[in-house]
A and B are shown apart, each in its own frame.
Chain A
Amino acid sequence: MARMKFYCDAERCVECNACVTACKNEHDIPWGVNRRRVVTIKDGEQGERSLSVACMHCSDAPCAMVCPVDCFYTTSDGIVLHDKDICIGCGYCFYACPFGAPQFPESAAFSSRGKMDKCTFCAGGPEDDNSSQETTKYGRNRLAEGKLPLCAEMCSTKALLAGDADVLSSIYRKRVINRGASAFNWGVNFNNSKIQG
């Protein structure tokens, strides 16, 4: 059984924000809610790196642990999803999440939090696959159609990868070997590495 994961290669990401735009468009996400974002550190300085961040579908997800109504569940593909019929919009998952993935649309007066929205790995929610209910609440279910998440599928530099952890690991391993060092070992690149994977 697959164990779905995202991986963003900081050596390749060029901060084009296409993943963010693709996600918003694919799932028709309202203003103010961003399931994915690109974070750039040392912007404009030497050693600038960017990472595309969304829900990382943790094996032992802190959001699921802290949720007061227990609305999270893990699919057979290892994707962490939540049930918007159960979510009460308390915001605890946002505090607990290491990656800042949970998002809250403003609902009603005083900007109180609406039901949480986050990356579904393009796998929808607990409703029937690609039913109108599921699409309204969670966006499209690409996984049910045999497709991978759109953000990774359309990444122009193939920095963002999505899929089975083992497959991603082997791709990543080859890249690392080619670079001769880990992705964060600045300055070492394909040209001056000795080994070719």
Chain B
Amino acid sequence: MLDSFRSSILYDVLKLTSTLLLVFMLTAPATAGPGPPKRPDFPQGVSTTNPGNDLWREVRQRDLPVTGTSQVKGVDSGVLINVEGDRWARFRIDNPVRHAPTLLVAVVLVLLAFYVLRGKVGIEGGLSGRMVFRFTDYERSLHWCLAIVFLFLAITGLILLLGRTLMIPLFGHHLFSLIASASKEGHNLFGPIFLVSLLLMLVSFARRNIYEKGDLTWLLKGGGIVGKGHVSGGFFNMGEKSWYWLVILVGLAISISGLILVFPNFGQGRVIMMVSNVVHVFGAIVLIAVSIGHMYLGSIGTEGSSEGMKSGYVDINWAEAHHDRWAKTCHENDEILSAEEFARLQGNPIDSGDATTGAAND
């Protein structure tokens, strides 16, 4: 099990992340400023009545227009009271900030429990070593481009959402400000790249992800995760199609709300910004939560499934187990490569007769 873990993508990703983190932690303190800002012991929450209280209450509660005119030209400069702001701020803290960590940790724990109880979903008869072509170089590049940009945006976004509660106690205000500032700039810079990758994804994969006959059966059988045997599927099975459309639709919602938030120069008001923020945060958390499941199934969760996105070729037994209708057409079109042919294509011909192991290792 350890060996298969070591050879998985997840292991590579973990290794890279931990190395980067270590480098960052070693170099970051040198650039940090002086200690935390001076915070005098003002009795927080003790309020003295503002003489303007009555006036402002009347501005809010009287039947008067709270929007007027101002010589100062700016977004919402004529608005006397922004009623929604406080509600948005409390909503943000009571919902995403409070519950997102719990949700994400819960997803990881459920997958961990599943892995311990059920183990890797194997293929009947194991890997054959005979491969069939599945994804072109372009498709794989696109997938990994979207994946890497998504991961970057997810991490920087979570830093901005949860950093105040989780990271300031660890790093202090000045160092965290540096991290958060870098996260914000990076997030704003890579956001549009996510949208471009997403649109290319839509163009390249949409046709193969249209739902078809048999997909409902897949859903009713729980995708074969629960119970025995594999469930029928085409080039993409029902679960993959649903993940694809979730990425496209929620991804578009996140991208559009993100563009509204990142370009304040078009003069959109605060209410639109707040709604966009809520859409952005909720969409992102849903996508991050489900993406953890996708990463699990694509790496340690299912035997042979990472191959398609690594070399572009998949084992024919894997194809028959998860995408039998597609595998059938491959058989019909005689597209299956022997282990020797595949190894030669990959540029490392096999000397020994042990073809199966040679081909199974990337």
Contact = CB atoms under 8 A, between A and B. Distances in A.
Given A69-B173, A70-B173, A86-B173, A76 B40 contact: yes
Nearest to A184: B58
Contacts of B77: 34, 37, 39, 100
A77 to B, nearest CB: 8
Nearest to B34: A85
A99 B82 contact: yes
B52 A8 contact: yes
A38 B72 contact: yes
A111 B264 contact: yes
Interface string B273-293: 110010000000000000000
A94 interface: yes
A88 B82 CA distance: 22
Interface in A13-65: 15, 17, 20, 32, 34, 37-43, 51, 53, 56, 59-60, 62, 65
Contact of A165 (B48, B58, B83): B48
Contacts of B74: 32, 34, 37, 103
A92 B86 CA distance: 11
Query: How many of chain A's residues touch chain B, expressed as a range?
Result: 35 or more
Given A70-B173, A98-B85, A90 B71 contact: no
Contact of A95 (B52, B79, B88): B88
Interface string A76-109: 1010000101111111101111111001101000
A53 B71 CA distance: 12
A39 B168 CA distance: 38
Nearest to A165: B48
B143 interface: no
B125 interface: no
A176 to B, nearest CB: 9
Interface stretch (B157-165, B215-223, B243-251, B318-326): B157-165
Contacts of A166: 48
Contact of B52 (A6, A34, A70): A6
B11 to A, nearest CB: 32
Contacts of B50: 5, 7, 56, 165
Given A10-B55, A20-B71, A39-B69, A110 B265 contact: yes
B347 interface: no
Contacts of A155: none
B55 A39 contact: no
B264 A104 contact: yes
B345 interface: no
Query: How many of chain B's residues touch chain A, expressed as a range?
Result: 35 or more
B310 interface: no
A3 interface: yes
Contacts of A88: 177, 180-181, 184
A180 B230 CA distance: 83
Contacts of B44: 74
A193 interface: no
B213 interface: no
A73 B37 CA distance: 8
Nearest to A32: B74
Contacts of B42: 74-76, 78
B64 A41 contact: yes
A155 B72 CA distance: 18
Name which of B52, B69, B71 has the most chain A CB atoms within 10 A of its CB.
Answer: B52
B52 A41 contact: no
Given A83-B37, A88-B184, A70 B47 contact: no
A41 B66 contact: yes
Given A39-B68, A59-B47, A182 B177 contact: no
Interface string B13-41: 00000000000000000000100011111
Given A89-B184, A184-B58, A42 B68 contact: yes
Interface string B139-178: 0000000000000000000001101100010000110110
B185 to A, nearest CB: 8
Contacts of A98: 81-83, 85-86
A34 B62 CA distance: 27
Interface string B305-337: 000000000000000000000000000000000
B38 to A, nearest CB: 5
Given A56-B50, A60-B45, 15 more contacts: A6-B52, A34-B77, A37-B77, A40-B68, A41-B64, A43-B69, A71-B37, A76-B42, A86-B37, A87-B177, A88-B184, A91-B273, A99-B81, A182-B55, A184-B55
11 contacts: A17-B71, A39-B77, A60-B45, A68-B164, A69-B164, A69-B176, A83-B37, A86-B177, A91-B273, A95-B85, A183-B54
A-B pairs, top 4 by smallest CB distance, nearest first, are A111-B265, A59-B47, A41-B68, A37-B72
Interface of A: 3, 5-8, 10, 15, 17, 20, 32, 34, 37-43, 51, 53, 56, 59-60, 62, 65-71, 73-76, 78, 83, 85-92, 94-100, 103-104, 106, 110-113, 126, 161, 165-166, 168-169, 171-172, 182-184
